[in-house]
Structure 1
């Protein structure tokens, strides 16, 4: 009888140990699954502010050096995501403060905040401008696009109809950007890249302009605004 009880106790202990081991195994699997889900969690896409929100931000920020501008003097040309922030290209059309600025806008609470600004050259006779700035070791080229451009050989103007820009880097690699219907462009080139040339094409694939039409890219520096 004693041996029977010993055998029964041994079987019960083995069964209990097996159940406990299975339970621990399931806990480990669940924990790993939850951990994997957290690691693979995708950040929600940034919500783009509308043009009026951008204009209000600029007008409220006295550091943008356009304190006399009104909403009618501000034209939003292009918006692009960059490192969980937004790059916003703006043209100021006020006669005494006409200019092109690339703003870096971050999110704060339920709103937005301008964190930096880069003033660049804008197009005059040619149909485009080209400015290059480095943000966090990343080269970015930006500029405005016009509906017509100067033809120096005949001293006339022709329609541009830009649809694509191809940037040729100094290492031979290229970066292309669709600009159909756009009044400006922001092209992220990569880590500390230099530009060798840029080609501006129309919908027929014809070259309308090249970078040398304006002499070359204009290198600029951004101004980081204090946290106020």
Structure 2
């Protein structure tokens, strides 16, 4: 039996919920870590969180004719190096190209933590209408240029010890000069979408609908 950890990692759609005649798509991007070359396999808690999020929101979005797909990155790390594209950004661009080839529909990117940062980085893809960022990992060095003319709906809890709500708020303020951008304070909740689950899911569904013009 092949060990997933030893196999050459490739990006893949691991959960696909697309109605027969979709009107739009949501691409879910899970979190990760700063540096890691470990492949994303079924031991990844970040991937599992992305999968749970998809399963929570897909039924409600499906009633609107919106398909939802989850991307599994090749590796767990952002792995930024000078002059190179961060690993999940390259994977997300592959995913958007594949969705455009298969469906040619508008896309809302939903990203948690590192997935939010990845979503912002690929918002300049022709198919992307905007990004719903959940407790995103954003910094003052991240460019807002990919969001030009797009929609950004970002939410963060005040008790998040992993990523910064203040940094997210500052990023949204910068992005608002180029995009339809807003910040939502989720209150005294942490990073992992485990508390106030209904509120996170409601924000995600409403944000995706808004991004897609529904």
Query: TM-score by structure 2 length?
Result: 0.28
Counting helix residues as a fraction of each chain, which structure ranks higher? 2
Q: Please identify which structure carries the higher strand content.
A: 1
Larger radius of gyration: 1
Q: Considering Cα pairs closer than 8 Å and 6+ residues apart, tell me whether 1 or 2 has the greater RCO.
A: 2
